[in-house]
Amino acid sequence: MNQGRRMSTSIARRLPWLAAVSAPVAIAFGVSMAGGWIAAWPGLLAAGATTLAICTLLWRPLGRLDRESRRSNEAAARALDRAQGELAAAARFNDALVARLPVPILLLDKTLRIRRANPAAATLLGVELAGRDLIAVLRHPDLIEAALDCIRGGAGRSVEVRLPVPLERRLGARVEPMEAPGADDIRAVVALEDLTALDRAERSRADFVANVSHELRTPLSSVIGFIETLRGPAREDRPAREKFLAIMDGQARRMARLVADLLSLSRIELDEHRAPTGRVSLAGILRAVAESLHMKAAERGIAIAFDAPPPGAAPACDLDALPPVLGEADELTQVFQNLIDNALKYSRERATVRIATWLAPGGSVAVAVMDQGEGIPREHLPRLTERFYRVNTARSRDLGGTGLGLAIVKHIVNRHRGELRIESEPGTGSTFTVIIPAISNM
């Protein structure tokens, strides 16, 4: 049936060609018969025979021509379909590429309307962007001027954009013209970069340098002053010399602790992105740290006891039953040395520093260090792990603190892919809980 249909179609396509070729012959015989040069019946027979001969001679060539034409049309159709498919695939690829770019992208038409925006731009600006005017989204004259210049054929350029609300932010914007406008008549592209974090890092670095300078300036000034005194008025005053040397020794040791903590913090931050690979038993570390601080605790009549977990925690787990964790033994020793030492410093005399262990949800190991001190007001808790942050600066320095202990703890715990929780109630005491994934859960 399909073959018959194709044959009928082929014949139908050949007939106009045959008619066009035969028409001049028929006209010539018609004119000859009309002029009396050829008799009617002989003329009709001759015209018919000539037309039949022409059709017979041209039938096969026209068939081949028809087939070639059909093949050419089919090839052209296939090429067109293929080209359209490739264009559609390229469009989908471009859409996916723009959508997955981590850089916020805005595509603008000639009226500065945002025709497209990727998810990174929506996350940065926090609004529905497609269809909105750039002026309504980013009210910044330099950016608007740069976009208009690109639309008018100017060169691309970079501008800085500051957003005062809802939080102050600084953005870097690169505006480039679209050389070949495509879908939606896009004429310019805007790439954004949030520079706020860089500004904060720079401020943090400046604050850190200022804090270190301040922390070192006081003991250095004291040491220099005592040296000048010992060289001058107290040169022959033995009691004063002994007193000043003891103070100088304390100040020098304080500077040594500060430098040691700074070096430790720097090393930990450098390795923070690399998870540790060692197999560590927390039971051994906790016992060793408690033993090393026993004499210091005894001086103030403070006991160090392994106790039950705080209310609301999971059931207690015997110290020797704790599963091992992936970690660095020296770093974890530093964590619990700092936490237990702080608990001894800030607990009341004749109190008890309690250490509790349990298995947290998900198979992690939790260790809580609980003191019986004055507690910490709630507003200070979020900032306790900042460098040099102290709730009571004078008391912390009197107790020999550098202001870096909890910052070191936080970074070590982060490196171990763990969590540090701080809870405190004024007048009751504080609890510092370290949660570290166990090997069996990794």
Which phi and psi angles does 63 have, rounded to 5°?
A: -65, -45
Structure tokens at 122: 């929506």
Instruction: Give the span between the Cα atoms of 56 and 58, in whole angstroms.
Output: 6
For the stretch 85-130, pLDDT in tens is 776 676 676 667 666 777 888 989 888 998 888 888 888 887 778 8
Which phi and psi angles does 328 have, rounded to 5°?
A: -105, 120
Structure tokens at 283: 């039971």
Residue with tokens 């405190």: 424
Instruction: Give the span between the Cα atoms of 147 and 158, in whole angstroms.
Output: 10
pLDDT of residue 399: 57
How many alpha carbons lie under 13 Å from residue 239 in its C-beta half-sphere? 0
**Among 436, 438, 440, which Cα is nearest to 418's?**
436
Task: Give the helix/strand (H/E) hosting 162.
Answer: strand 157-163
Which phi and psi angles does 159 have, rounded to 5°?
A: -135, 160
**Among 153, 148, 162, which Cα is nearest to 190's?**
148
pLDDT of residue 412: 92
Does residue 420 contact residue 434 with C-beta atoms inside 8 Å? Answer: yes
pLDDT of residue 289: 93
Strand order in the sheet with 169-177: 114-117, 105-109, 186-194, 169-177, 157-163
Which residues share a beta bridge with 425?
A: 429
Q: Break the chain into its structural domains and give their ranges.
A: 2-96, 101-194, 200-271, 276-441
Assigned CATH topology for domain 276-441: Heat Shock Protein 90 (3.30.565)
Which residues in the chain come in under a pLDDT of 70?
1-55, 57-60, 62-63, 66, 87-88, 90-91, 93-95, 97-99, 165-167, 179-184, 204, 207, 311-316, 392-401, 440-442
Cis peptide before 382, with omega less than 30 degrees from 0? no
> Can you say whether the dihedral through the CA atoms of 8, 12, 14, 18 is positive or negative?
positive
pLDDT of residue 146: 92
Listed in sequence order, the DSSP H helices in 187-328 are 196-231, 238-271, 282-292, 294-299
Structure tokens at 205: 């670095």
**The CATH number fitting domain 101-194, selected from 3.30.450.20, 3.90.870.10, 3.30.499.10, 3.40.50.720:** 3.30.450.20
Query: Which class in CATH covers the domain with range 200-271?
Result: mainly alpha
Structure tokens at 385: 């792990």
Instruction: Give the span between the Cα atoms of 426 and 442, in whole angstroms.
Output: 37
pLDDT of residue 354: 92
Instruction: Give the span between the Cα atoms of 80 and 423, in whole angstroms.
Output: 69
- List, as one string, the DSSP characters of 67-117: HHHHHHHHHHHHHHHHHHHHHHHHHHHHHHHHHH-SS-EEEEETTSBEEEE
Give percent of the chain above pLDDT 90: 19
For the chain, the residue count is: 442
**Among 442, 301, 303, which Cα is nearest to 364's?**
442
Task: Give the helix/strand (H/E) hosting 317.
Answer: none
199: Cβ contacts below 8 Å, ≥ 6 apart: 170
